[in-house]
Structure 1
Amino acid sequence: MNENGVTYITRDGDCLDNICWRHYGRSSGMVELVLEANHGLAEKGAIYCENIAIFLPEVITKPISDNVINIWD
């Protein structure tokens, strides 16, 4: 996992799937990634109180395919 990322400070009533949606543009797969990067976060429940620091790791995406065919070749 990449150690680059940002720290998000929660506001009262935040939930992780919404935080991931706003930061990454999706929650699927990102919630699990953030939970993995933040030991003990799952024990805090689904709705957070304010001032919890959550590390949001940088996600490096790989190209969909390494085998690109150009129609002009």
Structure 2
Amino acid sequence: MIVEPVTVQGDFVTVSLIVWRRFKRPMPGLVEQIHDMNPGLADLGAFLPAGATFNMPVPAPRGPAILDPVKLW
């Protein structure tokens, strides 16, 4: 697993907002994993102060989804 350092750049930013901006899709369990990896991050409050830093794990990319073909007839 790759770990990416993150520095908060603005006001009213939450961990879940940073995850959404990074991946552009829901990432179930990632916010909890970030809090587990970074003790004391939750002590900063719901809105992280500008300049706060933490490590964010980046899950390995999944292969393409194999879907069953849809037949219209």
Matches within 5 A, 1:1-73: 2=1, 4-10=2-8, 11-24=10-23, 25-60=25-60
Distance 1:45 1:27 in 2: 21
Aligned identity (percent) is 23
For the 8 Å contact 1:20–1:27, the answer to whether it is kept is: yes
Which blocks of at least 5 consecutive residues in structure 2 are unaligned? 64-73
CA distance in 2, matches of 1:62, 1:36: 23
Question: What TM-score, normalized by structure 2, do the two folds share?
Answer: 0.68
User: Which moved further from structure 2: 40-49 or 54-63?
Assistant: 54-63
Provide the rounded CA distance (Å) in 2 between the counterparts of 1:5 and 1:39. 15
Residue identity matched to 2:35: L
Counterpart Cα distance in 1 of 2:18 and 2:5: 11
How many residues align? The count is 62
TM-score for both structures, normalised by structure 1: 0.68
* Segments ≥4 residues shifted beyond 6 Å: none
